[in-house]
Structures are given as C-alpha cells and as structure tokens.
Amino acid sequence: MQPLKFAINHMTAPKLPLAQFLDLAKNLGLDAVEIRNDLTGNAILDGTSPKQVRALATERGIEIISINALQRFNDWTDERKREAEDLIAYASECGAKALVLVPKNDGTGLGEMERRDNLDMALNALAPLLQNAGLIGLVEPLGFEICSLRLKSEAAAAIGKIGGDTFRLVHDTFHHHLAGETAAFPELTGLVHISGVTDGSVAVSEMRDPHRVLIDASDRLGNVAQIKALRAAGYNNHLSFEPFAAEVHALSDPLAAVRQSMDFIRAAV
C-alpha cells in the first residue's frame, strides 16, 4: 500500500500569510495545500493576484490542490453563477486543480425533492464552467442536521447522473461522523479532509467547527478507522488537515503540532 499523502488547508494556520503557510507545508515535507477565499487579510481576500499565488507555490514546489470554497453552491442564482465564474477563473490562473463546493447550511431547502432538484440544477450549471477551465468540482456534504446536503450517497447519485470526471466527493472525517453515514464512496472521492474532536463533554449532535482540532489518540471521530477503510478500498490521494479550533490557530509552533499529528496517524494506520 502506498504511503500516506498529507496536505494542509490554510485553515490549519490561518494567521500565517500565504508565503509563510506555503513554507510551513514545505517544512513539513508536504507537496500540496488548499488555499481559501474566506480568510480576512490573507490571500485571496487581500487582493493577492492569482499569478502571485502561482509564483509563490511554484517557487516552493507546492501544488494547490483546491480553492476552498464556493459557498451555498446548491442555491443556484445569478449571484452564485458570478461567484463561481470568478472563483473558477482565479483557480485556473493560480494553478489550483479543483474548487470545493459547499452546500447551504442554514436550515432551508431540506425537503427531499427540493434538495435533489437544487443539487441537480447546480451541478448541471457548474459542469461546463469547470470543464472549460479544466477543473474538478469537489462536492462536500456537511453532516450538520440543518444542512441541505448531508449525505454523500445523495451527492454521489447526482454526480452519477452527470457522468464523466468533472465532479468528485470530499470525504470530511468530521462531517462523515456527524452524518452517521456508513457508505464512503472511495472510488468517487477526490479529497479527504481530516480533523479530530477530543472534547469528551460535547454530544455528537452539538459538535461544530470550533471543536475541530488536530488528530491524536483522544479523537472521538474515528479518523484512523475512516482512513484505514478508505485506503483499503483504494483511496490513495491527499489527506488534508482542516482544523477550525481557536486553540489550533493560536499555536506558536504549528509545525511541531501538525508533524506530531502526522506521526500519530502514520503509526496508527
């Protein structure tokens, strides 16, 4: 079996400017990162051009595996189309391989037919935009009860209608656990997001992004089991760290902390 392939999402160390974040990846021995369009004062929101992003990554031999993310992608409107076109253009010019697609997560659009119709509409509209740019759309179901797309099975069915290689799934270990879904669809998975929850006092139904930390032996999400199952079924792409907890973002030495988590996962898997 191939060695584990790790990557880091900029949410791992969101206070680091892009160049320092890329240096962090390089110093960890990684060759891939995800950049974000929701970090105030940082690329992309600070006006850093896609050419600058590409140059910084190329200098360090780092691949940008995705831009994270087009939010509310399954609430397809003229505004959403403009957002998608802008992000796809940016992703293409900066050298990113994919665009993460995040569903609306506000308690609306939960009816079964409404969910499916909205998802089909969005994917059919996005497909030609992504294809023309040579990008992959990474559909990321969210396990929260208020989310309009909780299950990978629903996303996989919609992707299957379109066919081809334009869309893949994100398997997020946090959201997979929250959704309570057993099916994993490794053959359709283009990226895995990893984070842990170690707070023993929070119920699964109450877990939120601020609980998401780096993975260690106290993890409650079954990250090791999820990774083992995905690999056994043939998944060999990146495992991308995506912790949202404030205590992770405040670390004075993220290099040591991420390396320790990588070492734990390697030993356990």
Amino acid 257: pLDDT:
98
pLDDT of residue 251 exceeding 90:
yes
Residues 24-29 have a mean pLDDT of: 98
Under CATH, which architecture does the 6-193 domain have?
Alpha-Beta Barrel (3.20)
pLDDT interval class at 1 (50, 70, 90): confident
| pTM of the complete model | 0.97
Among 126, 137, 127, 38, residue whose Cα is nearest residue 81 = 126
**Residues 106-132: tens digit of each pLDDT:** 999 999 999 999 999 999 999 999 999
> What pairs with residue 137 in β-bridges?
99, 167
pLDDT interval class at 35 (50, 70, 90): very high
DSSP track, 141-163: ---STT-S---HHHHHHHHHHH-
Tell me the domain boundaries of the chain. Answer: 6-193
Amino acid 9: pLDDT:
98
CA–CA dist 35, 37 (Å, integer): 7
The dihedral sign for the CA sequence 200, 14, 57, 65: positive
Share of the chain above pLDDT 90, in %: 100
**Residues 51-97: tens digit of each pLDDT:** 999 999 999 999 999 999 999 999 999 999 999 999 999 999 999 99
pLDDT of residue 253 exceeding 90:
yes
DSSP 45: T
Measured CA distances, 27 to 7, 33, 49, 113, 243 (Å): 12, 13, 24, 48, 19
Residues 235-244 have a mean pLDDT of: 98
Residues 181-204 have a mean pLDDT of: 97
Residues 1-17 have a mean pLDDT of: 96
Neighbours of 252 (CB within 10 A): 6
